[in-house]
Structure 1
């Protein structure tokens, strides 16, 4: 199914939004030769421009080492947990913001569901993957309600935590759910009473629901997730996959970064862009984004939108410099030191 980026979509934290995400195919527009472009009507030119704006607003998902590691590890955990009746093993993805955690776990879920459907492993009405985010100051009941909201299961306010949890667990068991993705786990701090109770709820859900649990959040090691008695239980059942910014110190580091930049550049659909321009600017792109994959994607996508809107149809260092990206990446950039007073610079 090819979804139009201009159409309103359901949130990813709902079964309708997740189904759209799994079925979504990003089709790259075909570039029109200049001679043909001049013969196109105003309406056709507008449609051509809009199709490329929509495309660059999304662009491609690059298969980074983190995405590949999570995909491989997640697939093995699902296979290992098939015959487990308790103490199922899961994954925890932790690292700074902008290092691809959400992309990694959602791609794991998407790839798993697509493969299961192609193989005919799912019956009608099956819901193999669930994706939810942890709300701020989450309580055990709030976590269960998030799962119920994803399913579309109405929950009267009078229902207790136990009633909501039981209904959710029973329904997910009948829907053949095999993968539960819980994002934004940093909103849960088990050093507090509410956070500790919510952590216990996740453990209880993983016991009741015959699925592999994959958790993701920002710098989870600092939330107390692995400390104390509760932390020891989590550490004994989950493997930690850390994420980080792309380094740029060794030749291998630079080669990996260049491969990432080249993949994004090859995906561009700009009429006047010279292939290899971004590849030559890879050191600048690393300095500008501090090696953050999320910041790099944002920078290139917005520069591509600017190139279409202002008619230049190409990305240059100057156009990249005009794009404002997230403060996390900008704040890591080295600041040029001012020369000592009284001394002149060449």
Structure 2
């Protein structure tokens, strides 16, 4: 997968190029998800921005853009997208038994949610490529684990919210109690040809909630023939426990940490070791900067320093570079060029043991 394939608009229903960061909360609605799936990610053109030296506010396009920047192809993302595409393409034409689910696991800050979103974007494009655009089709459903998880009613609500199904007894008073929406959810998903459900934040499910949660997922899967992707830190153990009825804390040490400790494919998002892959990631960040005075190659020369600061975590690297870029834009003067320097990076605080 090339960088252009990662950031391009997926499918024929092209939304305009968008530079603002993703509002993840909007992805849990059909309208928000479709907007994300069809947009083209783009960095702002300096020629269209406020001239050098202009004082900018919080809504300045460059300041907003450097709040998150563009997704970067890490080794884990490249491999995860490839594995997911292969399995999901096969599942499109499978008719017997349940579809094979996927597990997306890894430490915090390794890019799991980014990978999950990109898998969904790519699959939606695959559906439109095979079958053509259809406004009545809903190939992908994106949900996050709800705050209440005691019953089927609670689990049905994020699905109903995504599908814009009213789930209150009194539509004029949303504070009134809700109803179990499993039946209408399953009906709409089946009629709309839903084939993929993305579940983010699976790590929020407590030990005593695992069995009920996955009973619900499996029952919905039996009705709709969808593939689930479960995403979150520790997702592999959570899914394994759900499938084999073992509590996470009682799992034998001999199987903990083994790569074969799952009968489902596991996509791993991990830290990036120092080397060629790390250099490529740093170079991609540098190419995406939109600063008037930044000299190309500055960040690449600081690759080892950046790895020491971040430990190879993509989220920490993103925090460090984005904050430095925004600070450079806000504080640039005639004597202080609009550029990222080691001195500026030294002054930015991030996590991962960075105690300065």
1:288 equivalent in alignment to 2:298: no
Q: 1:183 aligns with which of 194, 200, 210?
A: 200
Q: For 1:104-115, what aligned pairs fall within 5 Å after superposition?
A: 104-115=115-126
Q: 1:131 aligns with which of 142, 150, 161?
A: 142
Contact 1:113 1:128 in 2 (8 A): yes
Worse overlay, 214-223 or 56-65:
214-223
Distance of 2:219 and 2:78 partners within structure 1: 29
Give the secondary-structure state (helix, strand or coil) at the position aligned to 1:238.
Answer: coil
Alpha-carbon deviation of 1:295?
1.2
Larger Rg: 1
Q: For 1:96-175, what aligned pairs fall within 5 Å after superposition?
A: 96-136=107-147, 138-139=149-150, 140-156=152-168, 161=180, 164-175=181-192
TM-score, normalised to structure 2's length?
0.79
Distance of 1:290 and 1:304 partners within structure 2: 20
Any idea what the Cα deviations from partners look like across 1:244-267, whole Å, max 9, x if unmatched?
A: 11123xxxxx11101100011011
Alpha-carbon deviation of 1:92?
0.1
Q: 1:95: which partner in 2?
A: 106
Q: 2:273: which partner in 1?
A: 247
Give the secondary-structure state (helix, strand or coil) at the position aligned to 2:327.
Answer: helix
Any idea what the Cα deviations from partners look like across 1:210-244, whole Å, max 9, x if unmatched?
A: 22211100123454743773469xx8762112221
Q: For 1:163-312, what aligned pairs fall within 5 Å after superposition?
A: 164-189=181-206, 191-192=207-208, 194-221=209-236, 223=238, 225-226=240-241, 229-230=244-245, 238-248=264-274, 254-311=275-332, 312=337
Distance of 2:298 and 2:136 partners within structure 1: 48
Give the secondary-structure state (helix, strand or coil) at the position aligned to 2:197.
Answer: strand
Q: 2:3: which partner in 1?
A: none
Distance of 1:226 and 1:61 partners within structure 2: 32
Q: Residues 306 and 150 from structure 1, CA distance in 2 versus in 1: closer, same or farther, beyond 3 angstroms? A: same
1:81 equivalent in alignment to 2:91: yes
The count of corresponding residues between Structure 1 and Structure 2 is 314
TM-score, normalised to structure 1's length?
0.81
Q: Residues 239 and 178 from structure 1, CA distance in 2 versus in 1: closer, same or farther, beyond 3 angstroms? A: same
1:59 equivalent in alignment to 2:80: no
Distance of 1:221 and 1:240 partners within structure 2: 7
Q: For 1:15-30, what aligned pairs fall within 5 Å after superposition?
A: 15-30=30-45
Any idea what the Cα deviations from partners look like across 1:269-292, whole Å, max 9, x if unmatched?
A: 111111111111111111111111
Distance of 2:268 and 2:322 partners within structure 1: 26
Unmatched 5+ stretches in structure 2: 1-14, 170-176, 248-260
RMSD: 3.1
Give the secondary-structure state (helix, strand or coil) at the position aligned to 2:46.
Answer: coil
Any idea what the Cα deviations from partners look like across 1:20-67, whole Å, max 9, x if unmatched?
A: 21122233233359xx947x9x7xx759x9222222223111122222
Q: 1:317 aligns with which of 331, 339, 342?
A: 342
Q: Residues 120 and 222 from structure 1, CA distance in 2 versus in 1: closer, same or farther, beyond 3 angstroms? A: closer
Any idea what the Cα deviations from partners look like across 1:165-186, whole Å, max 9, x if unmatched?
A: 1211111111111111001000
Q: Residues 129 and 231 from structure 1, CA distance in 2 versus in 1: closer, same or farther, beyond 3 angstroms? A: farther
Q: Residues 284 and 6 from structure 1, CA distance in 2 versus in 1: closer, same or farther, beyond 3 angstroms? A: closer
Distance of 1:227 and 1:182 partners within structure 2: 15
Any idea what the Cα deviations from partners look like across 1:306-332, whole Å, max 9, x if unmatched?
A: 11111131001111122222x3x2x2x
Unmatched 5+ stretches in structure 1: 249-253, 337-346
Contact 1:85 1:210 in 2 (8 A): no
